[in-house]
Structure 1
Amino acid sequence: MGAVMSFTKVTSDELKWAEDNPADVEDFVLGREREEAVDGYLDKGWRDLQELFDAADVDIELRDDGDFIDEEGVYFAWSSGLVAATAALLREATFERLRAHLDPEAAADESALAYVEGCYATLRAFFADAADSGSAAIMTFSY
Structure 2
Amino acid sequence: MGVSIGFICATTEELNRAEKEPSWADAFLGELYGSDDFPMPDRPYGGPDKAFAGLQFLFDAADVSLDFLMDGFSILEDGTLFGWSAEQIESLARQLRATPWEQLAAHYDPQRMTRENVYPNTWRFRPEDELEWLKDAYDELVTFLTAAAERGYGAFMSFSF
**TM-score relative to the length of structure 1:** 0.90
- What residue is the counterpart of 2:127 in the other structure? 109
Q: What is the deviation of 1:2?
A: 4.1
Q: Which residue identity does 2:29 align to in structure 1?
A: V
Deviations 1:90-126 (A, max 9, x none): 11111111000101565x7332122111110111011
- What residue is the counterpart of 1:41 in the other structure? 47
The SS at the match of 1:40 is strand
Partner Cα separation in structure 2 for residue 39 and residue 79 of structure 1: 15
Q: Which runs of 4+ in 1 moved over 6 A?
A: none
Q: Which residue identity does 1:44 align to in structure 2?
A: K
Between the two proteins, the alignment pairs up a number of residues equal to 143
Structure 1: state its 5+ residue gaps: none
Q: Which residue identity does 2:84 align to in structure 1?
A: W
- What residue is the counterpart of 2:118 in the other structure? none
Partner Cα separation in structure 2 for residue 39 and residue 67 of structure 1: 18
- What residue is the counterpart of 1:120 in the other structure? 138
Partner Cα separation in structure 2 for residue 11 and residue 101 of structure 1: 35
Percent identity over the alignment? 36
The SS at the match of 1:140 is strand
Residue 18 of structure 2 is aligned to residue 18 of structure 1:
yes
CA contact (8 A) 1:39 1:122 kept: no
**TM-score relative to the length of structure 2:** 0.81
The SS at the match of 1:84 is helix
Correspondences of 1:82-93 after superposition (within 5 Å) = 82-93=88-99
Range that drifts further, 36-45 or 76-85: 36-45
- What residue is the counterpart of 2:117 in the other structure? none
Partner Cα separation in structure 1 for residue 2 and residue 60 of structure 2: 20
Correspondences of 1:2-81 after superposition (within 5 Å) = 2-33=2-33, 34-37=38-41, 38-81=44-87
Partner Cα separation in structure 2 for residue 104 and residue 16 of structure 1: 40
Partner Cα separation in structure 1 for residue 27 and residue 47 of structure 2: 17
Partner Cα separation in structure 1 for residue 129 and residue 27 of structure 2: 34
Which has the larger Rg?
Answer: 2
Partner Cα separation in structure 2 for residue 35 and residue 42 of structure 1: 16
Correspondences of 1:94-105 after superposition (within 5 Å) = 94-103=100-109
Computed over aligned residues only, the root mean square deviation of the Cα atoms, in angstroms, reads 1.9
